[in-house]
Chain A
Amino acid sequence: MKTIYQMSRPGRRGDSIPAHRIDDDYFKQSRLPLELCRSQAAELPEVAEIDVVRHFTNLSRLNFGVDVGPYPLGSCTMKYNPKFTEQAARLPGFAGLHPLLPQLRRGGLLAQGALRVLYECDRLLCEITGMAAFTMQPLAGAHGELTGIMLIAAYHQDKGNQRSIVLVPDSAHGTNPATAAIAGYEVVTVPSKDGVMDPAAFKEMLSEQVAGVMMTNPNTVGLFNPYIAEIAEAAHKADALLYYDGANLNAIMGYAKPADLGFDIVHLNLHKTFATPHGGGGPGAGPVGVVEKLVEYLPISRVAEHKDGTLFLDYDHPKSIGYVAPFYGNFGVVLKAYAYILALGGEGLKRVSEDAVLAANYLRVKLMEHWQVAFDQTCMHEVVFTAQDKVEQYGVSALDVAKALIDEGFHPPTIYFPLVVPEALMIEPTETESKENLDAFVAAMTKLAQACKDDPELLHQAPVTTPVGRLDEVSAARKPILTDPLEP
């Protein structure tokens, strides 16, 4: 498709700037001296509104979202995004609210509704996770991780501990080691045994240098680590903090709380467990919750309640790590998650975990006939298969399978991850796909397993139903074209 820039015609307009009857004088007065001005106008498109609307509508039609079809992308929790939460975030009382208002004198009174959303969401997330308090400030999951590691650092510094290492299991999301490293820690990887972090290896690696341990439980291969109690005990004995990557909280709601499992800090991906839309790669939100002993280090400001029930922004936390974002987080996203939690209630959230785990296990047993499961045991909300045998027998890789699934009308599973499973196909159906869709996915995968034997070329050539075929990513990275070139 043409780019919006290629559609440009000199003099065409799509803007609607409000008319103001103010004197030309003010335009003259406010004109900047030449040396402060750009030499040429930025070459933005010159198009009409209809051009813009058609262009982006047509672009949207080249996209696949949960609203289009099943999206079992493991680890990303691509469940249905309820529409009423979109409506809630667009209410003018929220969408039109300036973030600096509550920083005016008695300004908290001007934003009681918004502060109430933050305060109540905090309390609900505390009950869901068992934590003592949350901050809504982190703007994404990885940003929550960074906040969590900063909290770990603040805790040790306050106690006078000299700690330089963060332990991360080999199955962790890439964001975990990346976060610990950019926060200034040395990252040491703990090996897995039977798919979960090996408690014996972990204990050996614990030392007085270890500041914290980042775990996902259930982990990225969809397995719950049954040794979590002894891992937590050993960590706490060494005064290392246990960090819970909440990417997979959607598997255990109503059954276990991270705090009860021994975790000290948790970040939640509201765009996963709590159904806020992924937006093509954001915005998300990554609130962070902590146990009592870490509350004093949480970012400021925090929302607190006066005796009379009014809410205010509380900055009086001298041991706080400060600010990880300018204001109160991705408020619009928090609001959608709050609406979702209220709609489902405790009952609905527990049902979410049950149905998500049921669907993943259903796919596991149905697919096992034709595909090799990475760990032959009950899984949680996602199941990992490996195409390693298909590579060896037919020269068909996980990537080929993923591309062929596109032609079958499905978004592929995650394949570049987890690193502990070669040629991984990481499938997360979520609770919102019907049994018919799960069966259709099984049928498609069964067909592809047969095609591996009969016609592997079909998989190598896939996808053929998309606007473009497989793109040459190597050339794209070698000679990057990152902007539309200006017409000569």
Chain B
Amino acid sequence: MDFVPHTEQDREEMLAALGLESVEELFRDIPAPLRAESWDLPQPKSELEVIGHLEDLAGLNAHQLTCFLGGGFYDHFIPAAVDAILSRGEFYTAYTPYQAEMSQGTLQSIFEYQTAICRLTGLDAANASLYDGGTALYEAAMMAVRKTGRKKLIVCNSVSPIYRIILESYTVNLHLDLVEEDLCDPASLEDLMDGDTAGIIVQNPDFFGRVHDYSPHFKMAAEHKALGIISCNPIALAVLKTPAEMGADIAVGEGQPLGLPLSFGGPYLGFMAVTKKLLRTMPGRIVGRAYDQEGRSGYCLTLQTREQHIRREKATSNICSNEALCALAATVYLSLMGKQGLVELAQLNMALAAYARERLTAIEGVELVDQGPWFNEFRLSLPLDARVVASRLIDRGIAAGFPLGRYYPEQGNNLLVAVTEKRSKEQIGYLAEGLEAIL
């Protein structure tokens, strides 16, 4: 199966037009000594055979576990209409909308996405998307470095460790000073701030599910002419104090909760919104409203002089493709959930998490690590190594949560439990029973 429509006659006619005998003659610029010696690849297969093979592989994955795993990536319900729209070939087989007149569908959907992200964060401008929440945080950090001309980034240690290790990998060659501390108490920030601080980076809800008000942090950042960067969960933004209300300069986050399947880590969606003064230093595509000669309104890529295809080595980022289709999914999802629906969804997540906290902490030896308040995730301390407990609960069909010892060695007995609207009271009950039985 090769999806090529040519018949042998088509090929012969095309070769004849070129005055050639065989197609190999077209490859004569490749010097003979450099030609591939082996080409040891499998025989072609039919669609039926490939799908059968992949179904077999899919069957080896434990996706049917009852999922209390979160850590920034959540098992939310996805309405069927999202995939119905994503399956439109006009959307998913198009490319970046360079030719605006024939790409108004993609362009307007991105414009509506930017609008949604701005309304959720309260900030002034959003881009068309970045790869994921982790790389979005890196791009935000680099914006702070470029904008301030400074080298120090102060990162709260309750920012996702999964993101912090990415930041560390990227910044090692750039001679940036990455300072990681517990910043929950704004007083702890005071000592770290100095004239070389480019930005401070916090997360809401933080990696442990706790909800914060970072207003004092961002105020301090502004006083030192550093940027305030916040990574946030977009569903939580339905109810949480917005990045704008706290005084953040840049809000980023992982858009996966907005209608994207977990899909073993991707494709996901990095969102970014900024204040007006940072607009022209923002990376990535941006769509704006524009008018044609007859006064008809439409949409086009705009502020392109920031981008690599124009500015080359002076661009604000090297990003080219983003995650447009994932941004479309998020836009459809947010449109379906709507103004009321998203708030109610957030509240339901919080209520179910409260129920789970009550059920789980009723078990002897199981305690909450934090005082709250929380969104839909929380840490439990267990009397045993959480890795062992989680592993035993897998045998009962439950992914009980994420053992924090992996990233926080001192927290070997702590388990991070996430509860979404997909978890029923009964499932929470099974988790409680299972945990009780093991302990």
Contact = CB atoms under 8 A, between A and B. Distances in A.
B23 A321 contact: no
Interface string B1-23: 11111100011011101100001
B94 A64 contact: yes
Contact of B142 (A182, A252, A344): A182
A326 B108 contact: no
A140 to B, nearest CB: 5
Given A45-B339, A325-B135, 19 more contacts: A12-B338, A30-B373, A97-B262, A98-B63, A98-B75, A101-B399, A110-B61, A111-B264, A113-B58, A182-B317, A280-B94, A280-B109, A322-B166, A322-B168, A324-B166, A414-B98, A469-B293, A480-B288, A482-B286
7 tightest CB-CB pairs across the interface, nearest first?
Answer: A93-B58, A67-B89, A327-B265, A15-B341, A346-B41, A322-B169, A279-B325
A322 B165 CA distance: 7
A133 interface: no
B345 interface: yes
A49 B332 CA distance: 10
Interface in A414-432: 414, 416-417, 431-432
B129 to A, nearest CB: 7
Interface string B343-354: 111011011111
Interface residues of B, number: 209
Contact of B321 (A281, A357, A414): A281
B91 to A, nearest CB: 5
14 contacts: A3-B111, A84-B50, A91-B54, A99-B262, A99-B264, A106-B391, A112-B57, A283-B325, A331-B266, A347-B43, A357-B26, A433-B5, A469-B101, A480-B125
Interface stretch (A198-206, A223-231, A451-459): A223-231
A411 B41 contact: no
A118 B337 CA distance: 34
A280 B104 contact: no
A51 B283 CA distance: 33
Contact of B44 (A26, A141, A347): A347
Given A65-B90, A67-B93, A468-B104, A256 B302 contact: no
Contacts of B128: 281
B58 A91 contact: yes
Given A45-B338, A65-B90, A362-B14, A80 B45 contact: no
A295 interface: no
A169 B183 CA distance: 46
B65 interface: yes
Nearest to A103: B406
Contacts of A472: 290-293
B342 interface: yes
B332 A56 contact: yes
B213 A36 contact: yes
Interface string A459-488: 000010011111111011100111110000
Interface of A is mostly: loop
A283 B323 contact: yes
A3 B105 CA distance: 11
Contacts of A355: 4, 6, 11, 23
A280 B110 CA distance: 10
A472 B122 CA distance: 28
B309 interface: yes
Nearest to B420: A18
Residue among A18, A56, A177, A362 with the highest chain B CB neighbour number at 10 A: A56
A249 interface: no
Contacts of A403: 99, 101
Contact of B105 (A61, A140, A482): A61
A469 B104 CA distance: 11
Contacts of A135: none
Interface in B129-183: 129, 131-135, 142, 162-163, 165-166, 168-170, 172-175
Contacts of A440: none
A178 B294 contact: no
Interface in A20-35: 20-23, 26-27, 29-33, 35
B193 interface: no
Contact of B11 (A90, A260, A358, A476): A358
Contact of B261 (A42, A95, A342): A95
Contacts of B321: 140-142, 271, 278, 281-284
A431 B29 CA distance: 20
B188 interface: no
A435 to B, nearest CB: 4
Given A46-B339, A324-B166, A358 B115 contact: no
A175 B43 contact: no
A96 interface: yes
A282 B59 CA distance: 28
Interface in B37-75: 37-47, 50-51, 53-65, 67, 69, 71, 73, 75
B51 A282 contact: no
A53 B88 CA distance: 11
A229 to B, nearest CB: 6
Interface string B233-264: 00001111110010000000000000001111
Contacts of A37: 239-241
Nearest to A51: B335
A98 B388 contact: no
A81 to B, nearest CB: 5
Contacts of B353: 30
B300 interface: yes
Contacts of B105: 59-63
Contacts of A139: 131-132, 135, 266-267
B320 A68 contact: no
Given A94-B61, A256-B30, A484-B111, A81 B291 contact: no
A127 interface: yes
Nearest to B175: A184
A95 B317 contact: no
A82 B313 contact: no
A484 B115 contact: yes
A294 interface: no
Interface stretch (A143-151, A235-243, A387-395): A143-151
A298 B128 CA distance: 30
